[in-house]
A and B are shown apart, each in its own frame.
Chain A
Amino acid sequence: QSALTQPPSVSGSPGQSVTMSCTGTSSDVGAYDRVSWYQQPPGTAPKLIIYNVNDRPSGVPDRFSGSKSGNTASLTISGLQAEDEAHYYCSSYVTTNTVLFGGGTKLTVL
């Protein structure tokens, strides 16, 4: 099964908002509200920032929000900060009872 589709890179200036997409199919993103987002700064392990499309784990700032429409999920980061620079990966539960990740998006804070 092919990975979910994410843009290779996005960028924004401090204080701005950025949105990145994650496109799948009716067998994964479109089938359930089970999309997650992970943040991975260079040289570190990933960190869960969104699960079930728009739920935030304890400790994750509300600057991070998620949404979904059809087969495409989105992550929005508002009030961009320098520390947000990282790779971001989406994932989705799949009808085959497996998990699929996206290829990742590199966020650059200008």
Chain B
Amino acid sequence: EVQLVESGGGLVQPGRSLRLSCVASGFTFDDSDMSWVRQAPGKGLEWVAFIRNKIYDKTTEYAAPVKGRFTISRDDSKNITYLHMNSLKTEDTAVYYCTKGVTVVRGLVLYYHYYSMDVWGKGTTVTVSS
């Protein structure tokens, strides 16, 4: 079964740090692009960051509100994606979803549509409050 399981959320004070983890199973992790998407209480979805697979040198990109504070990384030997969050703000309070990018196989060619997410975890809740 294709699955993503997030962990590491919790209550943290403003200015502190937190690390989220996402364990993948049921698919070839090191061929996959991974992203984090968050959803503040009662609000819509917000893309946070992505990390490409090793073919694309594990390159990363970030949304403007988190750039310079958050770092996405991956350990392909353990099938884990991380989100390191520093200098947390109250506006970072949200459910954080780990997601997998779409990969389409046509013949012998793999197409990576990393900007679309076809597998989602159940999410982990981060609350930033004093």
Binding site for B on A (CB under 8 A): 1, 3, 34, 36, 38, 40, 45-48, 51-52, 57, 87, 89, 91-93, 97-104
- Whether A52 and B116, one on each chain, are in contact in the complex, defined by CB atoms closer than 8 angstroms, is yes
Cβ distance B23 to chain A, nearest Cβ, rounded Å: 16
Residues of B within 8 A of A101 (CB): 37, 44-47
Q: In the bound complex, how far is the Cα of B115 from the Cα of A93, in angstroms? A: 6
Q: Given A97-B61, A99-B47, answer yes or no on A34-B123 (Cβ-Cβ < 8 Å).
A: no
Which residues in window 82-130 of B have CB below 8 A to A?
A: 97, 102, 113, 115-118, 120-123
- Whether B115 and A99, one on each chain, are in contact in the complex, defined by CB atoms closer than 8 angstroms, is yes
- Whether A51 and B116, one on each chain, are in contact in the complex, defined by CB atoms closer than 8 angstroms, is yes
- Whether B45 and A89, one on each chain, are in contact in the complex, defined by CB atoms closer than 8 angstroms, is yes
Q: In the bound complex, how far is the Cα of B45 from the Cα of A92, in angstroms? A: 12
| B63 at interface, CB cutoff 8 A | yes
- Whether B45 and A57, one on each chain, are in contact in the complex, defined by CB atoms closer than 8 angstroms, is no
- Whether B123 and A91, one on each chain, are in contact in the complex, defined by CB atoms closer than 8 angstroms, is no
Q: In the bound complex, how far is the Cα of B118 from the Cα of A48, in angstroms? A: 5
Q: Which of B45, B50, B61 has a CB less than 8 Å from the CB of A38?
A: B45
Cβ distance B37 to chain A, nearest Cβ, rounded Å: 8
Residues of A within 8 A of B121 (CB): 45
Q: Which of B44, B97, B118 has a CB less than 8 Å from the CB of A51?
A: B118
